[in-house]
Amino acid sequence: MADPIHQFEVSKIVDLPDIPIGGGRTIDMAFTNSTLAMTVAAGLIVLLMAVVTAKPAVVPGRVQSVGEMLFGIVDNLTHNLIGPEGRAFSPFVLTLFLFILAMNMLGLFLVFTATSQLAVTAALGVMTILLVIGVGFARHGLGFLKLFVPSGVPWPVLFLVVPIEVVAFLLRPVTLALRLFGNMMGGHVALKVFAGFVVSLGGLAAGGGLGWLGIPGAALALSGVVALTALEFLVAFLQAFVFAVLTTIYLNDVVNIGHH
């Protein structure tokens, strides 16, 4: 029986030259299975979008409807949460959403889930929060710091509230990264464990004797796998959507400081 953790193992496919980053340290730029999964995901998005926008019909076909629906979800999201200025962030949020969605979905079809790698989710989370901070300073300068000072709070309480707000803000990328990472990894571990039960209980039954008792258990585990797979498709979409929604909310916080 395969180790349920084994699927998260990163292995090199093509070894590329390392990049030195000073101090004698290097970054291993090898093309790994994780990189492959990301590349396939990105390629699929480009392919989908190319097909969707190749011959835009006034009355959309199926593929075009899907593409326009995905874009519409994000575009409406940014517009509804942030306001008219929100459309400017649609490309970023759409990229995040589609990329995460594609990586999540690929994990259910292929053997590797890029979003179950903490490095990937952490990079996405940090990227998001850096954008949020950048937008905040670009739009409001130092007024961005008002984000940490809630209005209508008596000043002595601020000594308590401001640090809490700062910590809460800094925890945003952490929660973004860990939520996605945990959901994807947890789902895949559970799938693998249940699938392992099917095999081991089936093996028990194949051993003869009282082993036939394993068959109902294996059947139960198999139905569990089927149900979990369906659930994982929902989770894959939902986590991508949640990431996009939270990114939009965080952007809204800094675009409309003091309005929330």
Chain contacts with another protein (rule: CB under 8 A): 2-3, 5-6, 8-12, 15, 18-19, 21, 24-32, 34-35, 38-39, 42, 45-46, 49-50, 52-53, 56, 58, 60, 64, 67-68, 71, 90-92, 94-95, 98-99, 111, 114, 116-120, 122-124, 127, 181, 185
Question: Minimum Å distance from CB 184 to another protein?
Answer: 10
Residue 229: CB minimum distance to another protein, A: 20
Q: Which is nearer to another protein, 56 or 258 (CB)?
A: 56
- The distance of closest approach from Cβ of residue 120 to another protein in the complex, given in angstroms and rounded to an integer, is 6
From residue 210, alpha-carbon distances to 123, 130, 207, 214 in Å are 51, 60, 9, 8
Q: Alpha-carbon distance 170 to 68, whole Å?
A: 34
**What single-letter amino acid sits at 114?**
A
Q: Which candidate, 65, 81, 32, 105, places its Cα nearest to that of 247?
A: 81
Question: Tell me, what DSSP letter sits at residue 110?
Answer: S
Nearer to another protein, 78 or 252 (CB): 78
**Closest separation between CB of residue 218 and another protein, Å?**
20
Closer Cβ to another protein, 122 or 238, answer by number: 122
Please provide the DSSP assignment of 172-223 as one string.
Answer: HHHHHHHHHHHHHHHHHHHHHHHHHHHHHHHHHHHT-GGGGGHHHHHHHHHH
Secondary-structure percent of the chain, ordered helix, strand, coil, rounded to 5: 80, 5, 20
Closer residue to another protein (CB): 8 or 169: 8
Taking the complex as a whole, how short is the minimal distance between the CB of residue 91 and another protein, in angstroms? 3
Q: With CA atoms as reference, report the closest residue to 110 among 188, 12, 200, 46.
A: 188
Return the number of the residue (113 or 147) whose C-beta is nearest another protein: 113
Compare residues 18 and 164 and give the one whose CB is closer to another protein: 18
Least distance (Å) between residue 194 CB and another protein: 17
